[in-house]
Amino acid sequence: MTDFPDIPDDIPVNDMIPDDNSDEYDQSDFRQTPHNLEAEQALLGAILVKNDAVAKVQDFLTPDHFINPAHQKIYHAALKLIEKGLIASPVTLKPYFENEDGLSEIGGAEYLARLAGAAISIINAAEYGQIIYQMYLKRQLINVGTDLVNDAYDHNIDKTAEDQIEKAEQQLYDLAERGSAEGGFKSFNKSAADAVGIIEMAFKRGGKLAGKTTGFDSINKHIGGLHKSDLMILAGRPAMGKTALATNIAFNTARVCRDDAALGISAEESRGAVVAFFSLEMAADQLAARILAEQSGLSAQDLRQGKLSQDQFNKLARTAQDLEELPLYIDDSPALNIGALMTRARRLKRQHGVGLVIVDYLQLLTGSRRGGRGPENRVQEISEITRGLKGLAKELQIPVLALSQLSRAIESRENKRPLLSDLRESGSIEQDADMVTFVYRPEYYHKQTEPDPDTEAHLIWLEKGDKLEGRAEFIIGKQRHGPTGIIPLLFDASTTKFSDLPIADSYLPEQNA
């Protein structure tokens, strides 16, 4: 074993690390804070001998990961010099530490030379870095556990047990993500292999679908399904059918997942996915009632009012029984913030392998820290939310579909078809999203323009209304991976169900950006 310079145990910087051989402690009762001073010394010595060693640890190791404050300062100073293109050595670092109290107590600037002199090779620099990082993680886990115990003992009426669980989960996930050695650059070879894998999956499906199915052939044809890591926005004015379309997609994707699983098809190969639906506007039972109405073909209003015959009720019961095993999970918690949503999505990913997250709707989410109610703060808050949703999609490697309201400006113009500029409150929605889509029902606005009866204009209005009845448009306003355009759909208002038009009527005209 290489002899590294000793750090006296009686100096302040190491009060937190007791001597294993001290009689002051009963080793059977005392548990040391996780640390490895020799690994810290070995890494610093390797860096001072050859600065290239820092490249092996720089992506995941920060000064805070060292337990010894003097080592933190040495590593920090070395990084600064190397980043400026200068050499970090005992000679170049000496001026920075000549008057450093913490370092003077362990030998001053001479300690730097002793570190470099005791180092033999930089080959194991990455392993030393991992040891230091693992010790840091263990210390942080102890802190999380301590906080968890203290919070549990705190009888604060405003802090529920569920809040404390979410806080602990958030801390653990933040800890897992922070400084991961797996981050940073990927070789083109690895990236190309991943891309070929996705293309191969689409090839095996006849070129029709690369991602998870929406359940609509016309939509799948032009977007290739819902792709992992993508944030997709579905926007529209009230009464356009945003929630209905999102519910249809959720059901379709979950049903295919269930059916594929029954056939022995793996989750990776399946066109479907386990779905997490965050419903901030509607209660879970209302959302379930919609799905039951869609699949049973019964009027949603009749279901709400209980206006059913015995045969209709039996049909509803059979539909409910058929959907019992549907892998669709609904969270209807009100006033959810983006941090809590991300925590719950991660938990569902771990427990049930969720493959699609749907949020209804974006403006009902709050930021992690609300700093006021002014319009500027709200814009910043929406930006935080969209960045969080995009980050969640990339982290979990799943598509995220977020619904969004449109501004009232659309009501004041003659052409009601939505545009990207109608997105409400923040340009970050368009910026962060991989795809921005709209749902539009011209029939809704046409009904508001009824002229006086018994006039020629009224006859023309009726004729146009017949052509628009049940028609809806799925508008692709932005798509990073393909064309924009309009896809026509059918909408049954009584059952809140969308469906494809006959193939002969389908079209997707290009739109100018």
Dump pLDDT digits (tens) for 397-427.
899 999 988 888 787 788 888 888 888 665 6
Give residue 20's pLDDT.
46
Give residue 347's pLDDT.
82
CATH code: domain of residue 164: 1.10.860.10
Please check whether residues 375 and 243 belong to one and the same domain.
yes
Pairing of the two strands 471-479 and 435-440 = antiparallel
Please check whether residues 122 and 241 belong to one and the same domain.
no
Please check whether residues 173 and 217 belong to one and the same domain.
no
d(CA 308, CA 316): 9
Please check whether residues 313 and 431 belong to one and the same domain.
yes
Please check whether residues 85 and 165 belong to one and the same domain.
yes
Number of domains in the chain: 2
**In terms of residue numbers, what domain contains 154?**
12-177
Find the helix or strand (DSSP H, E) in which 460 lies: helix 456-468
d(CA 250, CA 287): 11
CATH code: domain of residue 367: 3.40.50.300
Two tokens, residue 117: 């002199």
Give residue 58's pLDDT.
80
* Residue 130 is assigned to a structural domain of this protein: yes
Q: What is the mean pLDDT of each run of 10 residues along the chain (513 residues)?
A: 52 44 50 86 88 84 88 88 86 77 64 78 81 90 88 78 77 65 53 62 60 87 87 88 89 89 83 89 82 80 78 82 83 82 84 89 75 60 86 89 86 82 73 88 81 80 81 88 86 84 56 42
Give residue 231's pLDDT.
92
Give residue 513's pLDDT.
37
* Residue 399 is assigned to a structural domain of this protein: yes
* Residue 372 is assigned to a structural domain of this protein: yes
Give residue 403's pLDDT.
92
Please check whether residues 252 and 172 belong to one and the same domain.
no
Please check whether residues 253 and 351 belong to one and the same domain.
yes
Please check whether residues 157 and 285 belong to one and the same domain.
no
Task: Give, in order, the Cα–Cα distances in Å from 34 to each of 9, 47, 134, 139.
Answer: 16, 23, 9, 6
Give residue 503's pLDDT.
61
d(CA 273, CA 432): 23
Give residue 105's pLDDT.
60
SS3 call for 355: strand
Give residue 199's pLDDT.
60
Dump pLDDT digits (tens) for 109-145.
778 888 887 776 667 888 889 899 999 989 988 988 8
* Residue 2 is assigned to a structural domain of this protein: no
Please check whether residues 244 and 355 belong to one and the same domain.
yes
* Residue 154 is assigned to a structural domain of this protein: yes
